[in-house]
Amino acid sequence: MPKRRQTVSNLHNHLTIHARRQNRLLATLALAVALSITAPAWSAQVCVEGIAAIVNEDVVLASEVARRLALFEERMRADGQDELPERDAILSQILEQLVMENLQLQEAKARGVEIEDEALTDSVQAYSEQQGLTLDQFREQLAASGMSYREFRDEVRRELTLQRVQQNVVNRRIYLTEQDVESLIASPFFRDYISDEYRIGHILLQVSQNATPEAVQEATRTANDIVRQLREGADFARMAVEHSAASTALQGGDLGWRKASQIPGLFAEEVLALEVGETADPVRAPSGFHIVQLVSQRGASQRREQQTLARHILLKPSTIRSEEQTVEAIWDLHTRIVAGEDFADLAREHSNDPGSALAGGELGWAPASNYVDRFREVLDASQLGDLSEPFQTEHGWHILEVLGRREEDMSKEARTDIAARVLHQRRFEEKLQEWQSELRDEAFVKTMGGCGETAG
């Protein structure tokens, strides 16, 4: 169903780049299952007395480091990469990730951030449904992998807590004005908002905001040396694992496919000026030096919006109608429509979507991006005049019919909405990095034994 539009004046207070974070959460749930692998025998030797690092008044355990390492090595082998980076470099990256997560979880506790059981259950349910499993089947799969359902829920709670504290802290640091949005809409950058997609490699050399001039000079030399090696043919993924302080280091610095509007503003211009395979000069920022390479590029620029006219019937389970009864009811309506009964009449009589029922189920002309993922998938796959089979989204059970398709210039309202989202996403990533750097600079962190004993 269409997402509720918001005015620019309050939009920036609520946007949380939900789709990207939901994808990240689902990926984390998958990792949690994989992390049920037994930690290798050497884990007890990684650090003194099972403690990998002291983080303020908390600790990172050696067993946590070992589990992350086991997963990373399994991933690399699954990707066909037999030659792994130096283990010390991998361990350093893993430990730094765990330290940063620990610091953010400490901040969450101090701020009273808690994840309600209902939200936790919804996330686990969403993951099991994505795997095509009932919750009971998913529990059985977890047990077979050696991970308890409670352990899995704890992993999910941890990730949700990280997301929530980031949103709570960072969103307060973001302020958008009408002028900000209007300036972006008027820019050549925004006119190309639906342009080619870019796959970007990213390395962050972190420099403390309180660093001495000598430390900054040393970081500058290191950044320039890395760029030189990359331009001479060094493997970017390997260099990222060995040098990057970014959260994507263990993914080889891969930021994935992004439209121009989704590239962090710190280095967007540098990326857009590159040819495929080129590496930009180091970009200085408050958090350190950013090194970016354009790995690949695809797609073609479009300035017109594809819109679809569709109608649907929605049935929701309730206290008086079970899930099973809802499925039976939606299939009964489908059969009646196929037999010749009027779609609009049935929608007015039965649909649980108050926004469209009175209009015979019509949703109006809208881009597919206005709808939730599963609804959009069925919409895009349907031919003109086709009646879909019943399908489920988070809203309930639907029957859908496509009535028309067209190309339209984007409306002013849509442009404003998208521009605000682009600006919020850019600033969220920048402010998140700043906040994480502040946490790290202000923390007492001491790594132990085999993890390389240091304090800072």
* Structure confidence at residue 118 as a pLDDT band (50, 70, 90): confident
> Which pLDDT score is estimated for 321?
80
Residue 238's CATH number: 3.10.50.40
Instruction: Please determine, for residue 26, whether its predicted confidence score (pLDDT) is greater than 70.
Output: no
Residue with tokens 């996330």: 123
Question: What DSSP line would sit under 345-384, residue for residue?
Answer: HHHHHH---HHHHTTTTEEEEE-GGGS-HHHHHHHHHPPT
Q: What is the pLDDT of residues 146-204, one digit of tens each?
A: 888 898 899 889 999 998 999 999 999 999 999 999 998 888 777 666 457 899 999 99
One domain for residues 345 and 261: no
In a domain, 3, yes or no: no
One domain for residues 309 and 298: no
In a domain, 239, yes or no: yes
One domain for residues 286 and 428: yes
One domain for residues 26 and 127: yes
> Which pLDDT score is estimated for 449?
62
> Which pLDDT score is estimated for 341?
94
One domain for residues 322 and 242: no
In a domain, 426, yes or no: yes
Number of folded domains that form the chain: 3
Per cent of the chain over pLDDT 90 is 43
Q: What is the pLDDT of residues 335-369, one digit of tens each?
A: 999 999 999 999 999 998 878 888 899 998 888 88
Phi, psi of 148 (to 5 degrees): -80, 155
- The residue from 368, 386, 409 where one domain ends is 409
One domain for residues 322 and 266: no
In a domain, 448, yes or no: no
pTM for the model: 0.50
One domain for residues 294 and 438: yes
One domain for residues 310 and 298: no
Contacts of 1 (CB under 8 A, 6+ apart): 314, 353, 355, 356, 363, 371, 372, 375, 395
Q: Round the average pLDDT of the chain to a whole number and report it.
A: 82
One domain for residues 328 and 279: no
Per cent of the chain over pLDDT 70 is 83
DSSP tag of 274: P
Contacts of 271 (CB under 8 A, 6+ apart): 198, 200, 263, 280, 292, 294
In a domain, 61, yes or no: yes
Q: Which of 31-40, 265-274, 411-420 has the lowest mean pLDDT?
A: 31-40
- Domain assignment of residue 436, given as a range: 179-302+413-442
One domain for residues 23 and 163: yes
Tokens of 60: 């990172």
Query: Mean pLDDT, to the nearest integer, of 56-76?
Result: 87
Q: Taking the alpha carbons of 359, 361, 367, 373 in that order, is the dihedral positive or negative?
A: positive
- The residue from 173, 188, 203 where one domain ends is 173
> Which pLDDT score is estimated for 53?
92
> Which pLDDT score is estimated for 193?
60
One domain for residues 288 and 309: no
Phi-psi region of 35 (alpha: psi -120 to 50; beta: other; left: phi over 0): alpha
- The residue from 367, 394, 409 where one domain ends is 409
In a domain, 332, yes or no: yes
Euclidean distance between CA atoms 383 and 82, whole angstroms? 45
Euclidean distance between CA atoms 196 and 175, whole angstroms? 28
